[in-house]
């Protein structure tokens, strides 16, 4: 039984190493696709919410008091 376990463990280790070596390039491509998808989602949110955010900042800046004037001849 122990011999079977060792041979099975060696077989899985060999398969894992082969998959790990094969997936290095694939992982980089997958990360690139994921970053691209996140960028598209951010752009979509900004396009959809952009006018609302601009209006919000305009309302806030309109409610702020004016800055005091600096004394002349300072």
CA angle 30, 35, 36 (to 5 degrees): 95
Average pLDDT over residues 9-21: 73
Average pLDDT over residues 54-62: 92
Question: How far apart (Å, rounded) are the C-alpha atoms in residues 56 and 58?
Answer: 5
Average pLDDT over residues 31-59: 92
Share of the chain above pLDDT 90, in %: 34
Share of the chain above pLDDT 70, in %: 78
- pLDDT of res. 36: 93
Residue 4 has pLDDT above 80, yes or no: no
pTM above 0.85, yes or no: no
The DSSP line for 14-63 is HHHHHHHHHHHHHHHHHHHHHHHHHHHHHHHHHHHHHHHHHHHHHHHHHH
């Amino acid at each position: 039984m122990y011999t079977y376990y060792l041979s099975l463990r060696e077989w899985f280790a060999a398969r894992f190493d082969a998959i790990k070596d094969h997936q290095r390039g694939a992982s980089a491509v997958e990360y690139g696709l994921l970053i691209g998808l996140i960028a598209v989602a951010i752009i979509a949110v900004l396009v959809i919410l952009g006018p609302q955010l601009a209006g919000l900042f305009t309302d806030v800046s309109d409610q702020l008091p004016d800055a005091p004037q600096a004394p002349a001849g300072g």
